[in-house]
Amino acid sequence: MSNHGYEDELRSEQDYVAELYARLDAERTRVKGEFRTALRDHGGSAVERDVEVRALAREAKRLDVADNGLCFGRLDSTSGERSYIGRIGIFDEDDDYEPMLLDWRAPAARPFYTATGANPENMRRRRQFHTRGRRIVDFTDELLGRPDGDAQGDAALLAAVNAPRGEGMRDIVATIQAEQDEIIRLDHPGVLVIEGGPGTGKTVVALHRVAYLLYTQRERMERHGVLVVGPNPAFLNHIGRVLPSLGESDVVFTTTGGLVPGLRVTAEDTPEAARIKGSLKVLDVLAAAIADRQRLPEQPIRIELSDVTVRIDAETAEWARQEARDSGAPHNEARAVFTEIVTYVLTERAIGRIGRGWLTRDDKEAWEQLRGDLLEELARNDAFTTALDELWPVLTPETLLAPLYESPERLRAAGADDALLRAQGDAWTVSDVPLLDELVDMLGRVKSADREAEREREREAEYAAGVMEILQVERQDMMDDEDHLLAQDLLHADELADRFVERDTRDLAERAAADRDWTYRHVVVDEAQELSEMDWRVLMRRCPSRSFTVVGDLAQRRSAAGATSWGAMLDPYVPGRWVYRSLTVNYRTPAEIMAVAASVLAEFAPEVAPPDSVRSCGVQPWSRQVGGDELIAAVEEFTRDEAGREGTSVVIGPPDLPGAVPASETKGLEYDAVLVVDPERILADGPRGAAELYVALTRATQRLGVLHRGALPQALSGLDEAVPARS
């Protein structure tokens, strides 16, 4: 194409995209107008209005996010048809709703990502736009239908991967590659495992898969929402923009530490404690710890009643305990069985003593009358209540687990390792979360709290009924006096009553995040190699349909409780219902840096092949040995130099180094420039130190430097021992 022809094409494409934006603006104006009207409208019930308002709010948000990069390309078929591909679908209302812009998730848009020179899928040309705001800066054409393809086809991808990084992960909707698209659109109802080395895009592929599922299964998915579980808050903040940028908001983002609502994680376990808590064997410890709290009295417990003194002895308590355990009910619910047996024995004994000489079982009415009086007296007796609490206490997960951790005796009684002992039992760790969640079911609900909640609901219902009764009387009075009948007054009064009953105005994500019993339609688990067997039990409870996208890299596992194979974690829950896909191309890490990281990988996981980098950056990674007094100055020099560049940077090093972050907190993140400090100390930090160093080295997209005080580890011998050139 001549330069003149290219400019004409560029203007023509810009005119078309301008028309798309005009349609988008008109639709947005219409939706926002309906939204404002719905907010003011007093017709219908509060529930109906709430549904309408939320639907319009979602639609307005979807249209707003589409403004950024609305259209990113065009497909030309061999039959001469043209299809424009973009962030959302736009239709021509004046032409029988013909598509002017195809949503990237639509089946007809798939060849934009999958057509190749060897397999053109009836396509002749793929045109990719490079946009800035609402303007097309330029475009590249890839001619399809010939085996050698077109070198320009990679231009959009290379422009994206070479661009400076911002504060958060960007979507890849304009540059999805064929192997990624296959995974995004995979039709599998169970668990999909996506494994790939650093920079292969497995996280962003998983998020685009969520957007695709929400598009293709909207009605089924959005009622329950999607849960995304990541390794740390920094990672969640990094990826948090991707789904909203694709128009999806019914998503809860959390770490494994946030899976129990209201719990605050403040401490960190030793590797051994984390390993023990992550194993399924800890279930036996929890069961034994509960059984240990179901006690027998060492001496008979005296209960003084008005006419007689009775005693709870070990024999009675043992019978009651066995009946309660045999009921199969959770601990707190089984307390009712324990109480019933103890109460029966005490009342029988009391009746026998009180009625000695004058009362027999033949006098059923008198016998039952006396039993009823004794039951009422026992219910009010503080000593009896205290005895029940001592022998079969009402327990919460926290009141069981915290005292267990603080007591060597209780740990031994539960068959637990001393590694679980700690001074402050309620200083919760991430590894405690699945145990606390498990105990919710093992202990059962606290009945008193449930009864209070039920009474509160009953009070609200009674109050609302009273309001409606008053309103009906007032309405009749007003109808009798037509001069005072104002329709808006009646509607406002009805709205007041409706609003009282339907008060929860939180969106789905807020409601789901606050409800331990909420179940999700789909769950995404990132850095899944770090999850323990107990973590998986929590997640499976959150998703009864077992619909998961699991993302990870076994070579990067650091946790001693993490996965050594995907089958070991998944087969107990979804045997035959999980599939595996791998990503092999590294879009983030340039070849120069990946060569260094691959040397580290070869030392601790020689059986794992490193991903192939799609590009080179032309900048060699470097190392520099510094003395102890030079280290801080060298770090400051790096920080100062990078501050003058576009993009992001990070210093990764030991936790005692000012301004540095540990490698574990950078998992899943990416930076233009990375400085790794004291790699020898990272390697020495536990059995998975090499995996930590591998993670640290593969965070960089452009520039990598290493500062070391001791000898440079052999695996890093490929680094240039020099001060990096100034720019």
- Indicate the annotated binding residues: 196-203
- Are 719 and 703 in contact, with CB atoms under 8 Å apart? no
CA separation for the pair 430, 230 (Å, rounded): 13
Alpha helices in 591-699 (DSSP H): 591-604, 631-643, 679-683, 689-697
3-state SS assignment for residue 308? coil
Residue ranges of the annotated binding site for ATP are: 196-203
To the nearest 10°, report the CA torsion of 308, 311, 316, 321.
Answer: 110
CA separation for the pair 34, 614 (Å, rounded): 47
CB atoms within 10 A of CB 496: 12
Residue with tokens 């007054």: 489
CA separation for the pair 309, 238 (Å, rounded): 67
Token pair listed for 20:
């798309």
The residues near 52 (Cβ < 8 Å, ≥ 6 apart) are: 38
The residues near 265 (Cβ < 8 Å, ≥ 6 apart) are: 257, 428, 429, 430, 432, 433
- Are 401 and 270 in contact, with CB atoms under 8 Å apart? no
- Are 334 and 325 in contact, with CB atoms under 8 Å apart? yes
**DSSP output for 322-349:** HHHHHT---HHHHHHHHHHHHHHHHHHH
- Are 391 and 338 in contact, with CB atoms under 8 Å apart? yes
Q: What would you measure as the largest C-alpha separation in the chain, in angstroms?
A: 120
Task: Give a three-class secondary structure readout of 434-445.
Answer: HHHHHHHHHHCC
**Tally: H helices and E strands in the chain:** 27, 21
